Chain A
Amino acid sequence: SQTIHQWPATLVQPVGSPLSLECTVEGTSNPNLYWYRQAAGRGLQLLFYSVGIGQISSEVPQNLSASRPQDRQFILSSKKLLLSDSGFYLCAWSGTTYNQPQHFGDGTRLSIL
């Protein structure tokens, strides 16, 4: 069966420091991959999605970037964190056909001090 792993589970970083969050998927190949941010335990904001290695689409302009160096690896990065980057970051994957749901990891809670 397929599984998705995100780490770390929690992270506290100072303003201006770099960021790297990693997400990996097992048990499937060529998945679509997604990064979301959830603020205050409510709505989800899609940040990036990827349909293949090296293919990244950005949904909103921001201080973050994403990369997909391998088929089942998705990385969220920042060179300099802002206070506004605090939140709960969720990675998800889906199959490539239209009727397949997205499946989520357990998230990283990022606090910026």
Chain B
Amino acid sequence: AQSVAQPEDQVNVAEGNPLTVKCTYSVSGNPYLFWYVQYPNRGLQFLLKYITGDNLVKGSYGFEAEFNKSQTSFHLKKPSALVSDSALYFCAVRDDVKAAGNKLTFGGGTRVLVKP
């Protein structure tokens, strides 16, 4: 069975500094990976995905993620964090693509706090 781990409950970073949110995964087949962001009292917003190809994936709001197959990681990054990036971030992996429903397994979430 697939699983996702986000080892940090919270990440604190100063505005203008680089931001990294860590994610490691475990799947039996090819990994299909996603990042989402959630602001208070809102639904999750899709940021980016890795399906195949270039290991560096660019997404919305200046975010990017680096896929590393040997380390089974898919860390989210932003070169210069903004206070408005403060939110809850979720990493997710596609369940078995042969199974119906396109289900996702989500990590437990990482809260990002960007201080001015």
Contact = CB atoms under 8 A, between A and B. Distances in A.
Q: How large is the interface on A (under 10, 10 to 19, 20 to 34, 35 or more residues)?
A: 20 to 34
A49 to B, nearest CB: 5
A43 B34 CA distance: 15
A18 B24 CA distance: 40
Q: How many B residues are at the interface, by size bracket?
A: 20 to 34
Contacts of A101: 34, 46, 49
A42 B109 contact: yes
A98 B44 contact: no
Nearest to A33: B101
Interface of B: 32, 34, 36, 40-46, 49, 51, 88, 90, 94, 97, 100-104, 106-109
Given A57-B100, A98-B32, 14 more contacts: A6-B43, A32-B102, A41-B40, A42-B88, A44-B44, A51-B100, A57-B101, A90-B44, A98-B97, A99-B51, A101-B49, A102-B46, A107-B41, A107-B42
